[in-house]
Amino acid sequence: MNSLDALKQYTTVVADTGNFRQLAQFAPRDATTNPSLILRAVQQPEYRPLLEATVRAHPGRALDELVDRVLVAFGQEILKVVPGRVSTEVDARLSFDTGATIARAQRLIAMYEAAGIPRDRVLIKVAATWEGIQAARALEHEGIHCNLTLLFAFCQAVACGEAGVRLISPFVGRIYDWYKKAAGSQWDEAANAGLNDPGVKSVTQIYTYYKHYGIPTEVMGASFRNVGQILALAGCDLLTISPELLAQLQASDAPVTRHLDPEAAQRAVLKAVSYNEASFRYALNEDAMATEKLAEGIRAFAADAAKLDTLIQELAA
């Protein structure tokens, strides 16, 4: 048994890509996309025809609608390959607008449903800002399930659980990046690897808290830099992994040990916490890593969304 198959014994494996032609070889259950992944895909010759056909099929439509139709077109193709769900992201430029996020999510779901895709096969990705979490709360009440992304802080995870969101995506690799950069020449790679990786420790804390208190929100580790981070989170509800790292796992026969376990989490001694808007904002502000990585992530996704806008505008002209 290779390491990928061994991992699947404990964790649902998700592919983190817009390149739907790569998916079948890894047999993931779900797939996740984001503006950067879709932008990367549409710039490749094999995916360009899907972009062009989608834009041509809807002449005269507003740019934001065309963008959503492209995202849904990729989601439809992904769902032909994976048996589970696809995550499709709301424009990151709406990360601080609850009403606009809700409206955009509703439109994305309507597009999927018009194409014959039931809403339970789609997760709407929303940045885990306070506004995004409140949008997700409202959407979940409508039966529109959400994946809260750009999650770096424990307070974000707690607030998502309280809002009843379906799934969260804590970012392992970006947390690791921040601590490594902050440490500079003092960084000890060996001492901060595996279970001691700061990103791994963050996801472990969230998973343990959720399972201890019976919070049904699914935990999906994301943004991995190496196979070691993935294996250290074996047992997490889901892990979303790039095709490059999926290939490394598939090519390896290293044993996989379960590290996250719900029964062990229930035995942990933990204090329950809760956040309102003021205490959430203060807790996030106190976490320099989370504050910086959340802002950086929104800026990066917004920049790639703007590049995708430009590509589509040129085709629609």
pLDDT in tens, 253-305: 999 999 999 999 999 999 999 999 999 999 999 999 999 999 999 999 999 99
Domain boundaries defined on the chain: 3-316
What is the model's pLDDT at position 254? 94
Which residues partner with 82 through β-bridges? none
DSSP state of 90: P
Report the chain's terminal Cα–Cα distance, integer Å. 52
Which residue in 125, 211, 293, 307 is the catalytic one? 125
Hey, what amino acid is at 285?
N
At 98-141, the pLDDT tens digits run 999 999 999 999 999 999 999 999 999 999 999 999 999 999 99
- Over its C-alpha atoms, the chain yields an Rg (Å, rounded) of 19
As a whole number of angstroms, the longest Cα–Cα distance in the chain is: 61
Cβ–Cβ < 8 Å for 281, 156: no
pTM over 0.75: yes
Which residues partner with 124 through β-bridges? 88, 146
Q: Does domain 3-316 have CATH number 3.20.20.70?
A: yes
What is the model's pLDDT at position 72? 97
Would residue 125 show up in a list of annotated catalytic residues for this protein? yes
Name 152's Cβ contacts closer than 8 Å, sequence gap at least 6.
170, 171, 174, 175, 202, 287, 289, 290, 293, 294
* d(C-alpha 222, C-alpha 238), whole Å: 9
Query: Rounded to the nearest 5 degrees, what angle is found at the Cα of 236, between the Cα atoms of 30 and 24?
Result: 25
Mean pLDDT (the chain, rounded): 97
**Measured CA distances, 179 to 6, 7, 150, 196, 220 (Å):** 30, 27, 16, 12, 21
Q: To 10 degrees, the CA torsion angle through 36, 37, 40, 45?
A: -150
Average pLDDT over residues 26-35: 96
* d(C-alpha 4, C-alpha 26), whole Å: 8
At 65-86, the pLDDT tens digits run 999 999 999 999 999 999 999 9
Tell me phi and psi for residue 151, to 5 degrees: -105, 120
What is the model's pLDDT at position 35? 86
DSSP state of 170: E
- What is the residue whose two structure tokens read 């424009």? 91
* d(C-alpha 150, C-alpha 36), whole Å: 13
